[in-house]
Structure 1
Amino acid sequence: MPCYNFKSITVVPSSKDFIDIVLSKTQRKTPTVIHPQYAIGRIRHFYMRKVKTCQQFYHDKLQTILTEFPKVEHRSRPGEDIKVRMCTVIKRQADNLKFLEDTRQHMSRLPSIDPDTRTIILCGFPNVGKSSFINKITRADVDVQPFPFTTKSLFVGHTDYKNLRWQVIDTPGVLNRPLDEHNTIEMLSITALAHLQAAVIYIMDLSEQCGYTIQQQLTLFQNLRPLFRNKPLVIAANKVDIKPFEALSEEDKQSINSIVQWHTDRQIRDPDRPIFVEMSTVTEVGLVTVRSVACDDLLAQRVQAKIRAAALPGSNVDISNRLYIAKPKPDGNKTDAPSRPPIIPDGVLDKQRRRMLKRLRIANSLQPSSQLEDEDEDSSKRCRTVRDREPEADPDEGFILNLREHWRIKCPEEANDIIPEILNGHNLIDLFDPEIEEKLNALEEQEAAFENAGFYDESELLKQENDPEMKKIRETAAKIREARALRVLESRARKQVRRPQVPRSARSVSVHKIHQELGELGLEVDMHEQGERGRSLKRAARARNSAPNLHREASIARASVSRSRSGLRDEKMHDTVKRMSKIAQRKVVTLARKGEGDRHIPTLKPKHLFSGKRGTGKTDRR
């Protein structure tokens, strides 16, 4: 990765801003008032403090600039008048400060190039297709125009090949002229070619639309050939969709074939002749081939370089390949190293021998011989393990592993006692019936007798359903369920007493609902056709101020109910609601809230009551 970061350099202010910053900071950091009773020494100290503070601020700002910029010499110029002279010096450095700021901005725009990673450099005449090539094979977005010298600086793109990250550098176009006549833009390309160890792709324009003939492009290639030394080199012939290689003149073909080697003939590689590949950035023909050839050559060169570096004595590259394996020196006149076989204890060898003999005895089913008897005598002396006791167990009962025999308790005979199981404070063994097996057998015999007698047949069940006693029992159960449902409904009704009740007169009732309710009550009302399909009758207009007619009092329209009283049954219910609303507003009124959503926290300690000196008669405030 790059070892520098120009973007972190602090912004360099202009001379005017520099003076304003330092003087303002000096005014803020030092005293500003001189009282008449001050002695002359204190006044002199007052001004000298300002001068030294101003000088320190200038020093800090300039030191920051000199430290962050690379290779900047530190210069100190003393002045006559301390404060005024420093400002004069800063004014004289206005051009230098502006130059440094422009340099910082330019360096911050430069791409971050890693000189140690895998790199591919594109070079050639202007307008031959270098920027189009980098846009195709990487994620870069370089400006492409039909006129030359569009690219005026280095552009970096990244691509992946064989699960490795590659950086591709697009350089400005280079003209065929002496080195001292190249401008700054062209020197960027030459510097990149000279100092970066990378694969070079020299792009040519076979159609000659860039404004340069093939002979001129080959001449530029020969002039730049010293910069390509010890670097993988590929010549990419671009714009073959306009003019392929076969359409060139015989002279141009011979000139190209005399210095290049086609990529199809790579089995017999000539290191002095670069690889020649045709491509087109418009049709994307040959782009992958150019990238693959350049990447493979660079990978092979990097591997060879690591191998050569590891082979050099005293090299610090790839230390793992140069590890020294120490071996014991030969004893006396022996030329070979002494024989040092592994040492195995005798006890381990005896165990291995006994294990092998035991396996042979089990495999061959042989009676123990004298040698096996010796082995059995040795085995009887050692402690018997669970594996030794397992073959001796009764095959009918099986081997039972007792994990309690090694328990360390005061009374070893109590190790195998049954541990009581406690459930809800009772010992389960107390609930165990010793005659449970006999009772279970009796129940099974009784069930078998019932099945043999046909007690569980379907005919018996049908007889029981038609039995008058069963019918009476079912009717009683239905009444019990109905009474239970009524009690549930009454309980729910009692719980809903405190809920707001909407008066019947305020409810919206449809004609269909009235017809349904009257039908349930047993009243036959024929209003289906009139209520649903008939036309609505319009009431005749009446005088608003006319005197009430006592004979038609019931037919007079009710006055519209206010929203504050809608949903309330009577005056008693209205008073209850009003009283509850007052109780709910007590907290809001007590805390002086604007409403339920007011969460403002006022000033708990006003500054005008809790600030100032504690004088006579003011201590009651605290």
Structure 2
Amino acid sequence: NRDRPTCIPQAVLEAQAIAAAKEKKKLERDLENENGGAGVYSASLKKHYLLANDEWKEDILPEILDGHNVADFLDPDILERCEELEREEGLRLEEEAAQDAFMVDGHDELTEEQREILGKIRKKKAMFIQEHRMKKSTAESRPIVPRKHDKDRKFTTKRLGRQLTSMGVDPTAAVNRLRSQSRGRKRERSLSRADGDAMDVDGQHSDKKLRTRSRSRSKSRPIEEVVPGEGLRDTAQKKKAIKKSRDSVKNRNKEARRGEADRVIPTLKPKHLFSGKRGIGKTSRR
């Protein structure tokens, strides 16, 4: 029998030597065992802080009182700053008093005509403020009335033209646009009225016209087109939703069962439950 001793490669021996030379990292369990064990040792959370200087980790934090940092209110020059603020406040009050005195003296120097104009201006300003407050107080309860229901005729093209002219804007384009829109609406109403008359004269012809119009309208917007506000992402998702809705009612429609859109007349007091005498054993069922 030949001796076959273990052969460890040199690279492995070098790696083992390097690993043995390294210091083993102390874990929290090791620190706990060194400092009194469980229940005595309290792990420090500050040593994991990411600060510019590691020496700051164990610094004592400033005290907090009523949500405020006390250190922010400590100022050695607080008395001097208070005196500066008092001086500034005194100067500001003096300036305001001088300005008020100038205003009062200025009113005495006004002529009779200027005083009358000043009174009108103040009166109009007070009226504007009062009107604004009334609008603001009743804004939530006041209904929004469309301009087409404007009975007082406050919103007219003439008034629009005057306002734009006073602002220095040429009102021709805006007035022409409004008039063209109103003409278009009148033309639509006249066409619909003419269609109604034709329907009375020739019902079959008008039915064909209505069918072709509805068909053209349906062609203009396919059912798969996503309308804003439907909550669908794209056409594919809408197609999938339509298919699911149709599949869900297919079996019910085949069996002619009652659906969610059918009228329901409930029997509030069924006859078999509310007629006859109750026997000894019928209390639970009647």
Q: TM-score range by the shorter chain?
A: under 0.3
Relative to the length of structure 2, the TM-score reads: 0.20
Relative to the length of structure 1, the TM-score reads: 0.11
User: Greater Rg, structure 1 or structure 2?
Assistant: 1
Bigger proportion of residues as strand: 1
